[in-house]
Structure 1
Amino acid sequence: MTEDGHFAPERLELADLVCLTGAETARYAGVAIPNERDVAIVDLLRKARRTGGPGQLLDLIRPEVEAETLRTFALRMASLAVRRADPELLRMGLLAVSVSTLRAVDRHDDVSVLAPLWRTASLLRLDPAAEFAAAAAEFPAAAPLLSGWLDRPASLRELTVLGFHESADADGFRYAEDWAELSREFDEEFAHRSLLRRVTLPLLRRRPRH
C-alpha cells in the first residue's frame, strides 16, 4: 500500500521467472510443443502486460539464462501458432523475442528468430509488417529492433538466410533450426555489427539480484 492509502500496482518479481530457469531449460528447444513451460511463460507474459508492462522483465532477466529461454519460447510459439492458426501465439512470440534481444544484444541468433515469426504471420494470412509494427507499439523499447527488421530487403528476411526451414514432427508443423543453412551474408553482417549500428538499442541496466 502506498503512503496515500492506495494499493501499489502489482509488478513482476523474481519468483515469477521460475518458468525461465532450471536444469530442464537446456532441453527445452527440442521437447514436444506445447509443454508446461510454454504455458507458464504465456502466463508470465500476460502478467507482465497487465501489471507494469513487459519492460519490467528487462530488470529481472539475465542474457545467458532467462533471455535464452525467451528466445527459444519465441521460436516454439512461431511453430505452435501455425499448428493452431492462432495469431495470439505469434504475438506472444514476438513479445518474447523483443525482450530477449534487448538483453542479449550481441547474439545474432536472437535476431534470426524473427524470420520464423515473420513467416508465421504470412502463413496465418496476416500482414507481417502490421504485426511487427503492432509489437513495436506495445513495447516501444523494441521498436528500433523491429523497425530494423522491416527495413531489411525481402531476400534477407527469408527463413533459409537466417538458418531455418519448415519441417514437422509427430505433433505437426515445426520450424527446424540449422546453422549450416545460415547465409554467409547474415554471418558477415552480424560479424561487422552493421545490424546493431542500424538498430540503436537502448543501454539497459539490470537490477542487482539479492
Structure 2
Amino acid sequence: MKNTQSGLERRQSEKRAAILAAAKTLFFKEGYGRTTMDRVLSAVGGSKRTLYGHFENKEALFKAIIAQVSDRVLSALTPQIETKEIRETLIDMGIRYLQVMTSADGIALYRAMVAEAIHFPDLADSFIQNGPGRASKHLADYLREQSNQKNLHIADPDMAAAQFMGMLRGNAHLLAVLTAQIPSHDEIEQIVKTAVDGFLTGCIRDG
C-alpha cells in the first residue's frame, strides 16, 4: 500500500508539472486573457477532472506559475552558508537574482504581467506579493540581521532592499524585456559588483 501511494503521488506531481509547463507556454505566448483552461487541457492532454483537480480555475493556474518563477528568485536571494563576507554574499545573491530576472521565464512573466495588470488587478496584486514583494522582504530580512549585528548601518532595511534590487535590474533588465538583449555572465557580474560597492559605501560602519 505504501509503495502504491508513493507511485500515485509521483504521478500526480508529474501531471501537475506537465500542466504548469503547458500553461506557462500558453500564458507567455498568448497572454492571460486569450488562454483558456480548454486550451491548456488540449495542450497537456488528460481529463477535465484531472486538470481542475489540480487547479480550480485559470487564475489559480496562473498564480501557481507566478509562484514557480518567484521561488527561483527567492532561491537566488538565499545567502550561501559558506559565504562569510557581506560583499561576497551580496554579489553572489545579485548575480543569481539578475540571471533569473533576465532569463526567458523571468522576462516572459514580467511581460505578461505588464500586459495584463490593468485588466486583472487581482493577478497584479498576486504577482507583486508573491514575486517582487517576497523577494524584497527576503533580502530586507538579511540586511536587517546584518544591521542588528552592527555589521551594517541601515535605518530602513525594507527600503534599502528595494533600492538595491532596483540597482541590480537597472538598464540590463529593461533592455532584456524590450529588446531580448540578454547580458552575458561577465556583464552581469560587472553590473552586480558595481551595484554592491555603491550600495555598501553608505552602509558599512566605520571601525
TM-score tier after normalising by the smaller chain length: 0.3 to 0.5
Bigger strand fraction: 1
State the TM-score, normalizing by the size of structure 1: 0.34
* More helix per residue: 2
Rg (Cα) greater in structure: 2
